[in-house]
Structures are given as structure tokens and as C-alpha cells.
Amino acid sequence: MRGPHNVLRLIRTGATLERTGAMNDVLDALDAPPALRAAAKTLGWPFKWLGFRGDPSLPPVTRALTAMGPAYIKFGQILSTRPDVVGDDLAQQLRVLQDKLPPFTVEAARTSITQALGRPADEIFAEISPPVAAASIAQVHKARVRETGETVAVKVLRPGIERAFRQDIDAFYFAARAIELISPSSRRLRPMEVIRHFEGVVMGELDLRLESAAASEFAANTKDDDGFQLPEIKWHLSDRRVMTMGWAEGVPLGDNAALDAAGHDRVALSERVLQLFLSHALRDGFFHADMHPGNLKVAPSGDIIAYDFGIMGHIDEYTRRVYAEILFGFIRRDYQRVAKVHFEAGYVPADRDVDEFARALRAVGEPIFGMDATRISMAKLLSYLFEVTERFGMETRTELILLQRTMVVVEGVARALNPRMNIWEVAHPIVEDYIRGSLGPRAFAGDLARTAQVLARFGPRLPALVENALLAEAGRNADPAPDKGRKSRWAYLATGLLAGFATAAVLLPLF
């Protein structure tokens, strides 16, 4: 870590925050203690003239991050998914962060394509358009494949972006360590963990093969979804720095006038986009976590097309079941069951009072259900729910925060299409179907079958495991100073495996 280099970048960052008027907003959002405020002002105010001016038409924090370049823009986008760190107000401001930068030239893109694919770009593509979108990490060109004549979208990383990001991430780590040193109380915000999370996300986005893989997995999961399309990944024309996929031809989902002119049913589209998101999150546990209108189009057939798979969300099956039970409990206004689910899942410490927690949940749910149906907001419900669970000692779960953040975006897209949409009415069949499929007898049989499959892999080792366990127990019993009351871990394992096989043998024929 290069100290002088990072000190200079830190000074430039503080100066830009001060010059754009963002410094106080950031410090207030972080609830910074006096020592940290004093250090930030020391780095900012005397060097204010060194800061970037930015676009005065933007809000202060957005203006500052945009002025400081790609890494800061991406950092702001990721922080927008962490209201637990920056607070709801700043997270809301960061959600509208402009992700548009001056594009690099078509010639530079051709050079990158040639280097990545090992053939001259002009041999691969008959045409490459000027950039149609330029973001913090990459830009997109419309192109035509010379061999087939197919129109495709080619995403190309910015030249030198990897080195630039590594330098900025290095500076971010330096800043996080400095914050922890100057203000120990700030460690509750886990600044080093936040930077590690940022680094993991960015390093993934800097390898377009991973985005291609995410798109391919998403396509496999959703291939049977009616009214939904994904552009096909062209693996033979993709690499670490270049990703090629089919061109998505359609009307932007956020352009109501164009949708009406094309004869699309906006009410049906609003319901479909919400139900698709819930299906992907609950059924698959793998969802598009950046479903703003700029990443969605409507095909001439009326299908919704999604693209840009740089940010995807993942939820394990157990968490999906818990989440669905919580939603379904709220839909049925069964607050006692919602409270018990939180305790059963271990989300709320066992020493808290379940009845008191149920009353707190009722205080969240009843005012929302008292609203006109068209004003009920699932995203707002989840936001209130997180506030209550935090009061009762629930630890932050980043996967649920990303889910809630995406829910806010999707709900906004749906209501922009149909302001009178009844969110609960649309969500109810999806959540109910998932509950029926994941918590009924068939789901139990599936769980048992998967458990038996895992146990079966140990089958060839079972005799040796049991023999070793018995020998270990015999050795312990022969020991003049035995550790009474404690079984060998192998004995526990062998007993558990045998019990598992016995249970599977008895119960599987019943299903």
C-alpha cells in the first residue's frame, strides 16, 4: 500500500466533498463522531480548491461521486444497497446516481475486441456503431456479425479500468483503516467489511465472463417464463474484457408514451414485471438486482426483455422459505405467525418476547392495510419491517437488504406503468404458490430425498466409520482416566448417518 499516493487521493476526495457541499451530508449519514468530523474537515476545507467542481445540477453527494470518476460512482451505487450503513436518505439519493461517463472511442473499442478475441475486430464484425451506452466500467456498442449478419450488443470494458479501480480500492482501504484508527466508535459501521464487499462486487464486474455466466444461469432458470426474454450470450464472441449478446429490440419499459403508441397493455406489463421478480427471487433464489427501466424493454410481441447482468442477487433456499412465510403472514395479517417465523429462523434473539414482537409487527402492518389498496407498498412494508427487527436485535442480512432495494425499484417500475396497481393482489398468487410448493408434503419428500442422496455418498465409508467409532469408544473405556460423558465425534457421525439411512428407508416409500 503506497502511503503518499493514498494520502494525496484522500485529500483530493475530501476536497471534492467539501467543494460540492457533500461533506456534511456524508458525515451526517454516517453519524460521524466529533473526531472523525474534525479529521474530515482537516482533509477537506484547506484543500477545497483542489477538489473537482462537478455538475451543479446534481444533488451534492451524487455530484461529488460523479466528479471523482468510475470507482466512486460504482462505490456509490453499491452503497445505495446498504441503507444500514449510510442511512435511508443518502441511500435514496445514491439510487439515482448517474452512471453515465464520456465514452471512449470506437477505435479503442476495436483494439480491445481484437486483443480479447484474438482476431481483428473487422474480421468478426461488419459494423460497430458508436457507443449506445457508456457506464462506469464498460460501454455498449451495436454491431453486426460478419459471418451471420446477426445484430448484437457488444459490451467492452474501459481501457485501463482494472488498474484504475485497483488504485482507488487501495485508497478506499487506506481511508477505512484511517477512519477506524481516528474513530474507534465508527467500527460499528464495519468500514473494512464495506470495502471488502465493494472489492468483491467490482472484481466480479471486471471479468465479463462472470457476467456472461450469470446471464446464462438466469436464462436457464427463466426459459419457461411466459412473457419474458433474455438476449442470448454469444460465448464464442465473449471473453474477460468483451461480452457479446443478442440485440434487444423493443420499447424502453419506462417510456409510457412509446408503449401506448406501440399498443402494449401497461396494466398487464405492470403486473408481469412484479410477478416475474417475485418468481425469480422465491422460486430460483437468483434474481436481476438492477431492474430499473434502463435495463428493461418490451419486445414487439409484448414480452419483457431484461439485460445488463452485472448485479445479480442470490438467496439460499432456507432464507427464501422464511421470506415467503413472512410475506404470506403479512398478506393474511397473521402477525403472531410472522413473529414466530422470525424467532424460528433465529433472526431475532431468543431472549426477546415473541408477543411484544408480534405487537410491534402489527403496528407496522395495520396502518399499511388501512390504506387504499392502490397505495399499499410491499417495499415500504419491508423497510418498516427491517426497522422493527433492528430494534429487537436482528443482525443485518445483506442479501435481504439487496432484495428490499430491488423490490423498491421494481415496485417503482410497476407503479409508473399503472399508478392504481394493487401490489398485494398481484403478489398474492406468486407467494401462495411458492408456499404451497415449498412447505407441503411434496416439498418435504423432496427435502428428504436430497438428504438421502447426501447420506448415500457416505455409504461406502459407513462400515469403516462405524468400526472406527466403536474402536475409539473401546479405547476411551479402557483409558484409566476416561473423559466420561463425551462421545467420539466419529460415534456421533456414524450414529447420525445410520439414523439418516434408517429414516430415509422408512419414510421414502410413503411419498
pLDDT at position 285 is 92
- Please check whether residue 48 lies inside any domain of the structure: yes
pLDDT at position 484 is 47
Q: Which amino acid is at 195?
A: I
pLDDT at position 109 is 96
- Please check whether residue 210 lies inside any domain of the structure: no
What is the three-class DSSP state of 133? strand
The total domain count for the chain is 4
- Please check whether residue 95 lies inside any domain of the structure: yes
- Catalytic option among 239, 284, 290, 308: 290
Q: Are residues 273 and 358 in the same domain?
A: yes
Place of cell 388501512: 370
- If we measure between CA atoms, which residue out of 83, 79, 71, 45 comes closest to residue 136? 71
pLDDT, the chain, mean: 80
Q: Are residues 126 and 55 in the same domain?
A: no
pLDDT at position 369 is 67
Q: In this structure, are strands 228-229 and 304-306 parallel, antiparallel, or unpaired?
A: parallel
**Domain range for 239:** 105-157+220-247
- Please check whether residue 214 lies inside any domain of the structure: no
CA dist 66 and 59 (Å) reads 10
CA dist 453 and 501 (Å) reads 10
- Please check whether residue 211 lies inside any domain of the structure: no
How far from chain centre, in Å, is Cα 157? 21
Q: Which amino acid is at 308?
A: D
Q: Are residues 20 and 130 in the same domain?
A: no
Q: Are residues 332 and 288 in the same domain?
A: yes
pTM of the entire predicted model:
0.72
What is the three-class DSSP state of 87? coil
Q: Are residues 279 and 382 in the same domain?
A: yes
Q: Are residues 399 and 423 in the same domain?
A: yes
**Exposure of 202 by Cβ count < 10 A (0-12 exposed, 13-18 middle, 19+ buried)?**
buried
- Please check whether residue 498 lies inside any domain of the structure: yes
Ranges in the chain, pLDDT < 70: 1-5, 30-31, 36, 43-45, 81-85, 95-100, 183, 185-189, 368-383, 385-386, 395-401, 439-444, 446-447, 454-455, 458-459, 462, 473, 476-511
- Please check whether residue 314 lies inside any domain of the structure: yes
Active site residue 290: yes
User: Residues 6 or more apart from 364 whose CB is under 8 A from it?
Assistant: 381, 384, 385, 388
- If we measure between CA atoms, which residue out of 70, 236, 73 comes closest to residue 154? 236
pLDDT at position 511 is 46
